[in-house]
Chain A
Amino acid sequence: MKPAFSPALDPRFVLSLIVASWAWPIRAEEPLHEQIDRLIAAGDPEFERKAAPLASDAEFLRRVYLDLVGTIPSAEEARAFLADSSPDKRARLIDDLLARPEHARHLQHVFDALWLERRPDRGVPRGQWQQYLFEAFRSNKPWDQLVRELLAPDLKDPKIQAAAKFYLDRDAEPHQMTSDVSRLFLGMNLQCAQCHDHPVVDDYTQDSYYGIYAFLSRSYVHRPRGSNSSMLAEKAEGEVTYQSVFDPKKVTKSAGPRLPGGELLKEPKFEKGQEYEPAKGNAAPVPKFSRREQLAVLLASRDNAAFKRASANRFWALLMGRGLVHPVDLDHSNNPASHPELLDLLANRFADIRFDIRAFLRELALSRTYQRSSELPVGVDESARETFAVANLKPLSPEQLAFAVMQATGWTDVERKSAKDPNVLYGRLAANMAPFVAAFGTRPGQPIDGSYEATLDQALFVAHGKLLATWLAPHPGGNLTFRLGQRTDPREVAEELFLSVLTRWPSDEERKEVVQYLQDRSGDRVAALQELTWALLASTEFRFNH
């Protein structure tokens, strides 16, 4: 039998006390999430006055579910968490969620939309791509490796050749690839620099654009004869020249492969006729030296500061609702990070832990910064959200919205009864994402970042759409309105309703409202329960991750 834990006698505790008294200069032991909180607080002299308290358990619970597994908890899960009085329950929940397959599904949805921007399928069947992403996040593939695979897909390895979809769905169009690679992986929106130096951003020059372009301009889509498949291919030749549309003299410049601020790529020379590997079947010839492969190696590297910053900032924004560099694709010297020291720390630490996505997200989620309430303290204005003293509101993505609505209405439970296999269940639920993407998603080819809009057709989709109406109608499989219909006490109805849809208990006022509503509509209780559920689903509180 182990002796009872006694902090006073525990040598580790004594040691930590000693360390604590010297803690200021010694930070090696300070966990990343604490460093985050310290640097966030240091970023604003008035931080203590502005900072919101920690979010309530209910607020935290809904937030962390949406952020880590892409949906809201069931009423049962919510009850259990809210009733749990152990002090480490938040940390345990974070670990629990990160270990679930739904976490990988959520990241699959996030990066599918972010990287492909909802373009129509041009190459690689969608299912294969989704499975590839799912496996990558499920196995916690290091971030840099994942990005390298996207930038230079190994077409011989069947496990990762689906990564070619990133380029194929863009028709391997060099300008499209250049613009998107720099925006998505370097945090630099170089769009303007295609035609001229950026008019507002000094750092975004036309030669930085064409330096990246030169890595990609030799890539193309090969369509083997007699087959309707598309394959990514590359030439061994082709140099890049460009002019500025603002240059009255129309001087033609040339560009070699070079990352912004980096050195010109050194390339081996081959004798004429020796540039390609021997051809195989009807596959496209493969160059002995691939500029695209060099891009992957140089870009997705811990030696590339821009990549590290953009990567850390991306995951930060995913959880915090706003980048330290904001917008996330405008990292340049005139748009400094809100907390420069913190961004440097996160960038380096992410690289130090070998770009371990799950470990990085865990630290972010453990921080008090992440766990603060989104309610503005009295006398504090909205700018406190920009410095992370108060949590930001995040509109649910179309995928989060679809899964959250299915969970809230109990449709998930109905489907779960007939689909025991989690993959089968996922397949059935995921089939309902399309109409949400159509109503709430960006149009194909439009960037996902900063794309929130509230539109008429979304409201009409929620108000009049058949899909929601189906889920709201009582279903003997046990959806929410069916369950509510079986309860006779209107106060219990209110509690089950609020817990299921908004992941919190109703206030006294709200309890009364529900009771009153049911009284007023006592002639048609079935309809009244659907109306009540609809009102919660259509409320702003549901639409946002807060």
Chain B
Amino acid sequence: MRCAYACGSADHGWSRRQFLTGLTASGTLGLFGGGFAGMIHPAAAKELASAQKRVLLIWLNGGVSQLETWDPKPGTNTGGPFRAIPTSVPGIHISELLPHTARQMHHLALVRSINTQENNHAKGAYIMHTGRREQPGMEYPHLGSVMAKLLTAPDNPLPGYIHITPRGDSGFGKQDAAFLGPRYASVTLADGKPPANFSRPEALTDEADQRRNQLRDRLSQRFAQRRRTAETEAYSQSYEQAAQLIARKSIFDLSQESPRDLERYGTHDFGRHCLLARRLLEHGITFVKVSHTNYDTHYDNFDFHLEQLGEFDRTFATLVEDLHQRGLLSSTLVLVMSEFGRTPTINRNYGRDHWGSAWSVALGGCGIQGGAVVGKTNANGTAVVDRMVHGGHLFHTYFRALGLNPHKNHYHNQQPIPMADPTASAIEEVLA
């Protein structure tokens, strides 16, 4: 059953699995109270209040190994030392490095047949963020900027695209919005900290700030009486937006989350960053990207994946479960990806190298058929043997999962620019 108003994921309707296994939140017995109103799942009720859709992108920087995650090949010459374990979906096995994630498998779908033909970090990242190969003379906007534009309500004062990075500088001005313009560029929260300009200088009191803004506004109103244009309006609104952001600054404040939650997510950086991601998504940020680094394991691939995925697994599984419990998963598309995978061949340093020709990504939440697995690699993972797809197909799929039409155009200076690669199409099998 699909609801016309929602994105069509299992959480909206009444999933047989939820009914049978009692995975749903409390209160579902109300279903039997009779009448249509009773049919509405609590999560869907929340959804009705807020029709906004969101995206969570977990970026495993450097290129996570598909063999140590979504497409294990134990017992083969390429498989490495780790076993495969069963998941909450019968028949699907993933690496034993992801025991917590395995229990969330019914919320996730896997695409195991990605071939981007790209082994360069920057170029691979470009493909996975834009759904296109790099093309001279044309810069495409990143998924986060596209979704910030398409999914954020015009009156939402919050930035549409937040990127939480392990380190670096917080701030604005990223290039990822390309021709969509800076409004849709990512705001970087380095180590989760908002940019310095988010805070009012201490010397300026709340009252003084309001007073000077009232005068600014009066002057602007007077000026606009016979000179009002879309541009002058937008300028005045940017100050309104700033004021509203300041008023809601606490949504960036992780200290307002409980110590218990912090414990559940893990006190390491990635744990804190994912808890912040939950907080941001809950408070109306459209697109949150969390980067976890570093998976570029040319040396000691297995030790490093054991360590890195040890952080990733519990935190990610906790986040997925929380989004589900809070009724957000049905309207939040969840993506786990990298710039590429890693070579099946194990090099002499026990490492795996860059590998764009047969690897996997995981998707979940809004519009995604939980438990779906699409595509196949051969026995030792050296080639895709079924349903080969590339970044363009994935990009179409994200649009469809979010209920958007990937065949529409952006318009830049009146020039039509297809939102998704017109030569590709969605991976229907993972769509709910």
Contacts and interface: CB of A to CB of B under 8 A. Distances in A.
Interface in A286-333: 327, 329-330
A455 B219 contact: no
A454 B423 CA distance: 35
Contacts of A395: 231, 235
Interface stretch (A405-413, A437-445, A484-492): A437-445
B153 to A, nearest CB: 15
Max chain A CB contacts within 10 Å: which of B196, B415, B416? B415
A395 B220 CA distance: 14
Interface size class of B (residues with CB under 8 A): 35 or more
Contacts of B175: 443-445
A147 B138 CA distance: 23
Contact of A540 (B199, B211, B220, B413): B220
A432 interface: no
B137 interface: yes
Max chain A CB contacts within 10 Å: which of B198, B219, B416? B219
Contacts of A174: 136
B215 A532 contact: yes
The 5 residue pairs across chains A and B that have the minimum distance between CB atoms:
A457-B172, A460-B197, A535-B215, A531-B212, A459-B242
A454 B238 contact: yes
Contacts of B227: 374-376, 393, 544, 546
Contacts of A531: 208, 211-212, 215
Contacts of B136: 173-176
A494 B245 CA distance: 32
A540 B208 CA distance: 20
Interface stretch (A25-33, A82-90, A264-272, A462-470): A462-470
A289 B414 CA distance: 38
Interface of B: 135-139, 157, 159, 172-175, 177-179, 181-183, 185, 187, 195-201, 203, 208-209, 211-213, 215-216, 218-220, 223-224, 226-227, 229, 231-232, 234-239, 241-242, 245, 413-416, 423
Contacts, number: 165
Interface stretch (A69-77, A99-107, A108-116, A191-199): A191-199
Contacts of A254: none
B422 to A, nearest CB: 8
A13 interface: no
A245 B220 CA distance: 50
B137 A539 contact: no
B61 to A, nearest CB: 22
Contacts of B211: 517, 520-521, 531
A447 B231 contact: no
Contact of A453 (B173, B182, B198, B209): B182
Max chain B CB contacts within 10 Å: which of A194, A460, A546? A460
A455 B139 CA distance: 21
A460 B74 CA distance: 53
Given A194-B138, A329-B413, A395-B231, 18 more contacts: A189-B415, A191-B137, A443-B175, A451-B181, A454-B231, A454-B234, A454-B238, A456-B172, A457-B187, A463-B239, A464-B196, A513-B215, A513-B218, A520-B211, A532-B215, A536-B216, A536-B219, A538-B216
Q: Which label, helix, strand, loop or mixed, suits the secondary structure of the B interface?
A: helix
Given A395-B231, A464-B197, A446 B416 contact: no
Contacts of A463: 197, 200, 209, 239, 242
A545 to B, nearest CB: 11
B173 A464 contact: no
B182 A539 contact: no
A513 B212 CA distance: 12
24 contacts: A175-B135, A176-B136, A179-B137, A327-B414, A382-B229, A439-B173, A442-B182, A443-B173, A443-B174, A445-B139, A446-B178, A450-B413, A456-B172, A458-B238, A460-B245, A464-B197, A464-B200, A466-B201, A469-B201, A510-B219, A517-B215, A532-B215, A535-B213, A539-B220
B179 A446 contact: yes
Contacts of A453: 181-183, 234
B231 A456 contact: no
B346 to A, nearest CB: 37
A55 B50 CA distance: 49
Contacts of B234: 453-454
B36 to A, nearest CB: 41
A464 B415 CA distance: 37
Interface size class of A (residues with CB under 8 A): 35 or more
A435 B147 CA distance: 28
Given A517-B215, A532-B212, A456 B224 contact: no
A438 B169 CA distance: 14
Interface of A: 173-176, 178-180, 189, 191-192, 194, 199-200, 245, 327, 329-330, 374-376, 382, 393, 395, 438-439, 442-447, 449-461, 463-466, 469, 510, 513, 517, 520-521, 527, 531-532, 534-536, 538-541, 543-544, 546
Given A453-B234, A532-B212, A540 B137 contact: no
Nearest to A465: B197
Contacts of B236: 540
Contact of A192 (B177, B226, B415): B415
Contacts of B245: 456, 460
Contacts of A532: 212, 215
B224 A540 contact: yes
A466 B200 CA distance: 10
A376 B226 contact: yes
A527 B423 CA distance: 60
A541 B222 CA distance: 9
A281 to B, nearest CB: 30
Given A393-B232, A454-B237, A456-B242, A194 B213 contact: no
Contacts of A200: 414-416
A455 B183 contact: yes
Nearest to B232: A540
B333 to A, nearest CB: 24
Max chain A CB contacts within 10 Å: which of B172, B177, B182, B239? B182
Contacts of B423: 245
A459 B139 contact: no
A363 B205 CA distance: 50
B137 A173 contact: yes
B50 to A, nearest CB: 21
Given A438-B173, A456-B238, A459-B238, A544 B414 contact: no
Contacts of A455: 172, 182-183, 238
A329 B175 CA distance: 23
Given A456-B242, A539-B220, A464 B226 contact: no
A191 B197 contact: no
